[in-house]
Structure 1
């Protein structure tokens, strides 16, 4: 939910005092961290966010959204949570992280209750947001390679935006003193748009407050940024100073006074900046929906543009290396999920020594990747036999009444406890000895026994 501001031109061109040019030193943090201006993974590989916002706290049942945005090419999802001050509290973080992992997405978690503090009387303070993160610490520690923490959404409104600096410094320091090593993301004041340049002029103070040197600044671009010159001027100043920045939210130019999304997309791609569009679906102002009624087969004008257009998600996103680092295939339809990194098409280095004709068979291996109360994530590895195959089918019967609720990289159907999984268009053909994986989410009660799998191929 966004506030689009109608501001006088004079307010938009206020020039800041001199900016201290100083690049952030590389972080010693685990998982996702900052190196200079870039977000990098634990292995040092640069990761550029390409994703969308998902309004989870208001639509907790829309769990298929994670797989759907991944299927359209995203590598990141920013998930709206509530601290309990205004929305929530969101106590389902383990499940959210599991959904992100299942869909091979980097998860940016944000507390939305802070939106417009100082102007919106119902809003939470950044300190209250930090208290929520502390309450959830046990669910977050160990997830630093998969999760970034956006401390509070648009934490200050237009009343006294100068308070943002001290409040943000205190929030970062409290997170670190409580042992969080995650990549932290901090939003600008002025409802995220920083039109008074408080974040721009105090960025170094905020970055220096982080003992881990692992904070990225986030600008939200709506109607304040309705011309190319306003966008490039703002981004130029951060680039010249060497500060890490992401465009944590932005909309599209559905009329002449709205944000120039074309410039945002092209400049972000040119500069290697991450961007996360607002939003997947469910807006009270549906002009900002990318998918009608959360249906990936009903992309709106905005959805088609950000996913399938020039400099858009499908054309520029690269999967995080922690998941394998695959890039979108230009020939794949926008509704097709990403191929698992283990779906190698190279033949086995150990050919069969049998003089008989190769067999068009396959084997399937089942494993539980993660489990939580009432749910789990499963993975199945399909491996071709001694001859190439063009299609495969895996069947099993759950021994304890488990039920598949969502799947990717396979078409899965169920009849009672009996499950049938068939390849999709891009992973049925396997060379001899080659493998592919598909995954699923499922429910369970009491016991989560392992089924016996059968694999047939043609």
Structure 2
């Protein structure tokens, strides 16, 4: 009976955004129950059966937590230690863990306190005169514990009671360890974790060795009460006062007729130190709150309240120290069960809110009557505390559940499958997502359920109402064959890059065709035709979960030539030979004249781009002007590349669309001894963005010089790739004006200016990487002005240094915000006397829906490229970079998916359609392994073209937008 009295339950609290949680060990049942204290009575959340290794049940005395680890002290089936659970999570009404080990202490474990800073354990254990001790166990490098590490045996002072043992243990912020000695009616203190010192003893106000403590104090009800009556649980309040619980059962050396009690000792008292000595407790230092019939055990402070279990009355009380009131919170305190209380980390419960859910319809998957299938939905969560999260989805004919462990906080996406049973009728279903976790909220979305009732015929044999001519916008109608099996309404959409069309119609039974108007809007001057795709969700195809498709090939008629083939003048005109004379470096195209002799005032127009003077001998009256369209006219080269509207032109005055890669050359420590320019050239890239630094910041990096920069730019020229030189020092800096205070001095240094002007004909300069704020500052006008005005000042400095080449300007918000370009881009362009500005946006858009801004930028005819396109996106988590945090390529190998379904592949298709340039990040040496286009070995060989990764292969070889299939190199070197 003695032993069972001390083997009791401990409860612990978790501060949590949905309210505190209380874990209560139940000794007899070998269980730990967890309650939510946000309600009164408290709500039972889960019941955990305490089992250790080999699935053996244990009788729990106490519980403590360290992050997501749980420690359970026990004395059955063997009295020798505690259980250590790792990976503890409570979600969906279930407590789970990843592993459990048994740690031997050779003593019964009564209470455990954890140093939350480093995980060191202080274990109160033992029964009998020789076993009472506190064991200090430090955590090893693997997060494990082993027995031993005796901290201190109890002093030998005894009171000759038949029951011997220790009760509670606690530790304050200063590292002082306090223990209740329930046999000797005292509290022991080891100051500042001093394992070598003897403890200070806090005793009654009687004679030095009168540990029976028979002195009568007065409680708050002015009744005679005992200072010590089998003391157990310990806890500090916010003011540093120490509270302990008197159990007062029949084994108490000094039973208290007023019942069990909670006692407060002042901080001034318990802060005293008297190693090997005794400190007397007087009535001035102690306040006693008695409770009739109470047998108090463990204590826990949460905010301004103390929670105490009372097995005498079978309750857990919420005690208010300010007024001495006890409130019943509806938790049973069945005997046996007294012990420690401990506050633990909130991470055992994942705290989150469901903010949004959507049916992205990835891959074109549709739901059709009669087909059992599943859909993938995206649920957006705002996670306050990481952990395992369970979600349930329900709706008519739909159901699903999923559980995922989240290691990071903040806005995260969770994807889950929802099953459709194939039943019901066509129409829209509402699906609601919820969680068994309290307070998570819900979200709802709709899913269309389609009925298949027709099939496409052979659309290749469909008929067109007319033809289309290359480069000439037009609308025609196409009649495509169908077979209808049931009356119903459908929408047929045309999928194309240069054609558009759609038809919504109610189909009649046995209908054999539909006619759809289609419009040709030319945007690719090199296009000679296209295969049109027609699709409908109501059409039945080979795959029941996909829309059905049919295809029609369109061939564009050649456009009429603006310049017909050269027509020779009349044979009797001696100039006919000289117009096409081989000694000329150009020839006249489109000569429309049929007579050698013209009348005065006649203007013979050869669809002119230049006026030419024909050789002597051509007969014309005075005042006749002859104009001709000139092919391969030897115009002089431009001094630099230049902008014309939204388009970039090279020095040979040819439109140039950037298709290339980023090369973090300064992070490639093999440079300047070696570089990867020739390997990059093999990709077909027509441009390469070169990462450079004013100050690299790591003195161990091999030194680089201005000569190395000059040689690198020369090598780009040799390999016919336009270099984009960029300074990386201020990446993601908030204050854009740092460009002027820290970087412009490098750009305008005379030695650097000399190098830049040496290569000016084929060079673009990118002043700074990803500087400034706008969207992240709530679209603050002040932030936009900071970015805009900083670059205007920088442009002035650059042009004053006689640098005329194009200036590339990165968008703010780590390069991601295209709206800043829309809002301020034209003002920046107008400020440049050269009007030679090219903006750059970086497409890390996992959490940013850039579609509207992209459309607005295109419609505004603003010059911009996408300067960084990648397959993965990083995130800042707790002040550190989480590499490869988001998938932005449609895969699931990174831990998170974008909130908006963004994929870089779709972006590149859009950029191709709109003739917008881009640069992939990165060829090599990126901190996110999956984001490297080539082998990223730390030692050579690395970065070789023959080591293209999956990402690299897609960037280079994709049939639609790959570099090899779209890049046209400049001849303006």
* TM class by smaller structure: 0.5 to 0.7
Matching residue of 1:68: 679
2:744 matched to which residue of 1? 130
1:174 to partner: Cα distance: 1.1
| Corresponding position of 1:169 | 792
Contact 1:113 1:124 in 2 (8 A): no
CA shift digits 1:325-366 (9 cap, x unpaired): xxxxxxxxxxxxxxxxxxxxxxxxxxxxxxxxxxxxxxxxxx
Whether the aligned pair in 2 keeps the contact of 1:219 and 1:245 (CA below 8 Å) is yes
Alpha carbons of structure 1 residues 315 and 231: separation in structure 2 relative to 1, 3 Å: farther
Q: Which structure's CA Rg is the greater one? A: 2
3-state SS in 1 of match to 2:676: helix
Q: Are 2:748 and 1:106 aligned? A: no
Which residue is 1:55 aligned to? 664
Counterpart pick for 1:189 among 789, 798, 812: 812
Give the alignment's Cα RMSD to 1 decimal. Answer: 2.8
1:204 to 814, 820, 826: 826
Q: Which has a greater percent of strand?
A: 2
Q: Distance in 2 between matches of 1:232 and 1:118?
A: 24
Q: Provide the residue aligned with 1:303 in structure 2.
A: 952
1:235 CA displacement = 2.4
* C-alpha displacement of 1:234: 2.4
Q: Does the Cα contact within 8 Å between 1:55 and 1:80 map onto a contact in 2?
A: yes
Give how far 1:85 is off.
Answer: 6.8
Q: For residues 127 and 276 of structure 1, do their structure 2 counterparts lie closer, same or farther at Cα, with a shift above 3 Å needed?
A: farther
Cα pair 1:221 1:251 within 8 Å, conserved: yes
1:246 and 2:862 matched: no
Which one of the candidate residues 931, 934, 941 is aligned to 1:291? 934
Residues 8 and 286 (structure 1), Cα distance of their counterparts in 2 relative to 1, 3 Å cut? closer
| 2:911 partner SS | helix
1:83 to 659, 671, 694: 694
SS in 2 for 1:320: coil
For the pair 1:215 / 2:837, whether they are aligned, the reply is yes
Residue by residue, what CA displacement relative to the aligned partner does 1:28-60 show, whole Å, maximum 9, x if unpaired? 972211011100012221001110000011215
Report if the CA contact (8 A) 2:638-2:761 is conserved: no
Query: Cα offset for 1:236?
Result: 1.8
8 Å contact kept, 1:114–1:126? no
Instruction: Give the aligned partner of residue 803 of structure 2.
Output: 180
With over 3 angstroms needed to count, the CA separation of the structure-2 counterparts of 1:209 and 1:90, relative to structure 1, is farther
The equivalent residue for 2:760 is 144
1:127, distance to aligned residue in structure 2 (A): 4.2
Distance between the aligned counterparts of 2:903 and 2:909, measured in 1? 10
Cα-to-partner distance string for 1:380-433 (whole Å, 9 max, x where unaligned): xxxxxxxxxxxxxxxxxxxxxxxxxxxxxxxxxxxxxxxxxxxxxxxxxxxxxx
Structure 1 37/242 Cα, relative in aligned 2: closer, same or farther at 3 Å?
same
Q: How does 1:265-284 map to 2 (within 5 A)?
A: 265-284=908-927
Q: Distance in 2 between matches of 1:247 and 1:211?
A: 24
Check the 8 A contact 1:75/1:105 in 2, yes or no. yes
- Structure with more of its chain in helix, by fraction: 1
How far off its partner does 1:215 sit? 0.5
CA contact (8 A) 2:935 2:949 kept: yes
Match of residue 370 from structure 1:
none
| Change in 2 beyond 3 A, CA 1:167/1:41 | same
Alignment check: 8 A CA contact 1:70 1:105 kept:
yes
Report the counterpart of residue 772 of structure 2 in structure 1. 156
With over 3 angstroms needed to count, the CA separation of the structure-2 counterparts of 1:79 and 1:292, relative to structure 1, is same
Alignment of 1:41 with 2:660, yes or no, is no
Q: Does structure 1 conserve the Cα–Cα contact (< 8 Å) formed by 2:690 and 2:725? A: yes
Q: Is the 8 A contact 1:126 1:155 kept in 2?
A: no
Give the alignment of 1:367-406 within 5 angstroms: none
Check the 8 A contact 1:114/1:152 in 2, yes or no. yes
198 and 300 in structure 1: CA distance in 2 versus 1, 3 angstrom threshold:
same
Residue equivalent to 2:854: 235
CA deviation vs aligned residue, 1:99-139 (integer Å, no higher than 9, x gap): 2112111000000012111279xx95344222111121011
Hey, what does 2:969 align to over in structure 1? 319
Number of residues paired by the alignment? Answer: 295
Change (3 A) 1:259 1:109: farther
Give secondary structure in 2 for the equivalent of 1:169: helix
Structure 2: distance between partners of 1:166 and 1:40: 27
TM score, norm. by length of structure 1: 0.60
Aligned to 1:125, the other structure's residue is in SS state helix
User: Cα offset for 1:295?
Assistant: 2.5
Report the Cα offset of residue 168 of structure 1. 1.1
Q: Cα distance, 1:194 vs. partner?
A: 0.9
Provide the secondary structure at the position in 2 that maps to 1:282.
Answer: coil
Instruction: Give me the whole-angstrom Cα distance separating, in 2, the residues matched to 1:264 and 1:321.
Output: 28
Secondary structure of 1:80 counterpart: strand
Task: Specify whether residues 61 and 126 from structure 1 end up closer, same or farther in structure 2 by C-alpha distance, changes over 3 A only.
Answer: farther
- Structure 1 distance, partners of 2:738, 2:956, is 33
The answer to whether the Cα contact below 8 Å between 1:251 and 1:259 also exists between their aligned partners in 2 is: no
Greater alpha carbon shift after TM alignment, 100-109 vs 198-207 = 198-207
Selected match of 2:732 from 113, 116, 137: 116
Structure 1 residues 90 and 170: CA distance shift in structure 2, 3 A: farther
After superposition, the Cα gap between the structure-2 partners of 1:60 and 1:264, relative to the gap in structure 1 and judged at 3 Å, is same
Q: Aligned with 2:760: secondary structure?
A: coil
Contact 2:651 2:762 in 1 (8 A): no
Q: What is the CA distance between 1:296 and its match in structure 2?
A: 1.9
SS at match of 1:30: coil
Shift of 1:178: 1.4
Question: Contact 2:822–2:860 (CA<8 Å) still a contact in 1?
Answer: no
Deviation at 1:263, TM superposition (A): 1.7
- Kept in 2, the 8 Å contact 1:117–1:125? The answer is no
Distance 1:238 1:90, change over 3 A: farther
Counterpart CA distance in 1 for 2:833 and 2:638 is: 10
Q: Cα 1:161–1:194, aligned 2, differ >3 Å: closer, same or farther?
A: farther
Q: Is residue 29–residue 212 contact of structure 1 (8 Å, CA) maintained in 2?
A: no
Structure 1 alignment gaps of length 5 or more: 1-5, 10-27, 324-458
Q: What SS does the corresponding residue of 2:655 show, helix, strand or coil? A: coil
Distance 1:203 1:90, change over 3 A: farther
Helix, strand or coil at the partner of 1:77:
strand
Mind listing any 5+ residue stretches in structure 2 that lack a counterpart? 1-409, 414-636, 872-888, 937-942
Q: Tell me, what secondary structure is at the counterpart of 2:924?
A: coil
User: How far apart, in 2, do the equivalents of 1:242 and 1:69 lie?
Assistant: 31
Cα distance change of structure 1 residues 126 and 66 upon mapping to structure 2, 3 Å threshold: farther
CA distance in 2, matches of 1:29, 1:232: 35
User: Residue 570 of structure 2 aligns with which residue?
Assistant: none
Secondary structure at 2:955 match in 1: helix
2:664 & 2:902 partners in 1: Cα distance?
21
2:903 aligns to what?
A: 260
